[in-house]
Structure 1
Amino acid sequence: MTNQKQAMLFGLATVLLWSTVATAFKLALRDLAPVQLLLIACASSVLVLAGILVFQNRWHLVFELRKRQYLQSFLMGLINPCLYYLVLFAAFDRLPAQEAQPLNYTWALVLTYLSVPFLGHKLRRVDILAGLVCYAGVVVIATRGAVTSLSFSDPVGVSLALGSTLIWASYWILATRDQRDPVVGLFLNFLFALPVIALICGVSEGVQLQPWPAVAAAVYVGAFEMGIAFVLWSFAMKKAENTSKVSNLIFISPFLSLVFIYLILGEQILTSTYVGLVMIVAGLWLQQRKVSAQKQRLAHES
């Protein structure tokens, strides 16, 4: 099997996992508060990531960082998982999964816009066009099709979902200067964040036994969305001979996610969700297609 085929398989496996997490979020949030879900998921992710590092014989790297990098791990952990997932789970707690999930996908566009002031990237006309298309889709979903009235179904929930994209994009901008091993860095972020999350949970919601289906869903979120999916996607990117083909797989995820949302959660998928999601994905595809074309042209010229 060629490296590209392996990359595609790793990418497809990752996309499949990403497609299930919106459903898992909602299943867990039926009985858990957002911070309780985060506590269980974070603890599960720490165990899974530790297991991966041991399996890969890279556990020793956890103890070989500089003091400044351990401080960095704590500060990065306050952003992800603490702040990001608290905001994201709060959004899913208020909105139907079919609304919260597509809105969260606009983080890639936010990353482009934030890269202009913080990384010195140039804003192109296609980025502006992609933004107009994406956020028109956001309005369609958030208003459930009542675009002319601009009557949002849940303004707070929508604000939280869009706010999570800002936090996530900011995290990745900071991560561009991160010299830690990716899996080690993610493990330490979650490890240092865990006591903070436990403290917040203990003060706000308390720590007590919860129904096992909700706990199982929270463990699934931590093990797969926060842990295994990250590692699989890293493998896909390392193996890929053509990264754009692998990256394009992410456009399958939001549509496949709607299937799980419909079949497992029983949400009746609104026409406005389909329309808005198509617009969001079209905007992101337009932007990524332009970037891929530029990369290929530069590679050819070199």
Structure 2
Amino acid sequence: MVRPAPLDPIILSNTATLAGCAALALWAFLAPLARMAQPLPPLLLTALGFAAGGLLGLGVVAARGRLGALRQGPVAWAHGVGGLAGFHALYFAALALAPPVEANLLNYTWPLLIVLLSAPLRGLPLGPRRLLGVALGAAGAALLLAGGAHFPAEALAGFACAIGAAMTWALYSVLSGRLASVPTEAVAGFCLASAALAFAAHLGLEAPAMPGPRQWLAVLLLGLGPMGAAFFLWDIGMKRGDPRLLGTLGYATPVASTLLLVALGEGALSWQVLAATALVAGGGVLAARA
């Protein structure tokens, strides 16, 4: 029998990086779908989104006969649940304790942190072209998100939570490469555990609510996309792709999300949006050519 030739590692890496890009594209739909789910409380929406994504993922894992992939050690569970649930908990705390514009701006330091942490934690070189690319992306996100931003001292706890959320997501993402032996199918279990934690927080902190037909549709779409498939694709991208490029391209998410909202009639196409799009695109091109 002739054995098939092994796939080129460069091709595998490029394919995994494309999977990470698909996750970034799906996250652009998070804001429109969250608006569609209003007025559900945010923690309940998080719990339902994680549950939908986890259950759909679990169905795929079961169909492939890979349920054994959910049996992982405590380090893998701490990394997976801590990254998914920890990020969302800190992000929602930031929105509750600080002005949303400023909190979102600080939260979107996570793409820059992914690029910078790729050197010490993954041993990947950066170089001036990559650093310039991520700087352009950061400038584009700041231009888009920072209109009228100010940082009052009384919101310091919220700002700390926003930075903590960014650091949590960056560490979760970059350290995924150090846990490459943990199969991507395990993400289904991490999503379900995160759903349980978010639902417990909802019961303790929010008034009970019952989704209507429109909210249930939004939850299903969240589970299919930005709170389901996106986490699996991001895991593939971070474990086997180029985290430096994916970090730089992460700044395309808020721009694409804003463009979607504009297309849905919930915003205007301003010069800031166009300039941010150009900066993020230029930064992505620089990083890709590096």
Q: TM-score, normalised by structure 2?
A: 0.71
- What is the alpha-carbon distance in structure 1 between the residues aligned to residue 280 and residue 83 of structure 2? 24
* Secondary structure, counterpart of 1:176 in structure 2: helix
Deviation at 1:192, TM superposition (A): 2.4
Q: State whether residues 49 and 222 of structure 2, in contact with CA within 8 Å, keep that contact through their aligned partners in structure 1.
A: yes
Name the stretch that deviates more: 158-167 or 53-62: 158-167
- What is the alpha-carbon distance in structure 2 between the residues aligned to residue 265 and residue 51 of structure 1? 35
Could you list the runs of 5+ residues in structure 1 that have no partner in the other structure?
A: 145-150, 241-245, 291-302
What RMSD over aligned residues (CA atoms) do the two structures have, in Å? 4.3
Q: State whether residues 73 and 188 of structure 1, in contact with CA within 8 Å, keep that contact through their aligned partners in structure 2.
A: no
Match of residue 74, structure 1, among 71, 74, 77: 77
In structure 1, the residue matched to 2:33 is: 24
Identity of aligned residues (%): 22
- 1:59 and 2:67 correspond: yes
Match of residue 182, structure 1, among 181, 184, 188: 184
Could you list the runs of 5+ residues in structure 2 that have no partner in the other structure?
A: 1-10
In structure 2, the residue matched to 1:295 is: none
In structure 2, the residue matched to 1:208 is: 209
CA distance 1:164–1:221, change in 2 (3 Å):
farther
Name the stretch that deviates more: 135-144 or 158-167: 158-167
- 1:40 and 2:48 correspond: yes
Cα offsets for 1:105-160 (capped at 9, x unmatched)? 7643321112233334444222432343233223322333xxxxxx4178879987
* Secondary structure, counterpart of 1:177 in structure 2: helix
Match of residue 119, structure 1, among 111, 118, 122: 122
Name the stretch that deviates more: 105-114 or 86-95: 86-95
Q: State whether residues 142 and 158 of structure 1, in contact with CA within 8 Å, keep that contact through their aligned partners in structure 2.
A: no
* Secondary structure, counterpart of 2:131 in structure 1: helix
Deviation at 1:82, TM superposition (A): 1.0
Q: In the TM superposition, what are the counterparts of 1:265-276 in structure 2 within 5 Å?
A: 266-276=266-276
Q: TM-score, normalised by structure 1?
A: 0.68
Q: State whether residues 115 and 247 of structure 2, in contact with CA within 8 Å, keep that contact through their aligned partners in structure 1.
A: no
Q: In the TM superposition, what are the counterparts of 1:116-195 in structure 2 within 5 Å?
A: 116-144=119-147, 151-152=148-149, 164-178=165-179, 179-184=181-186, 186-195=187-196
Q: State whether residues 82 and 193 of structure 1, in contact with CA within 8 Å, keep that contact through their aligned partners in structure 2.
A: yes
Deviation at 1:177, TM superposition (A): 1.9
- What is the alpha-carbon distance in structure 2 between the residues aligned to residue 183 and residue 55 of structure 1? 12
* Secondary structure, counterpart of 1:195 in structure 2: helix
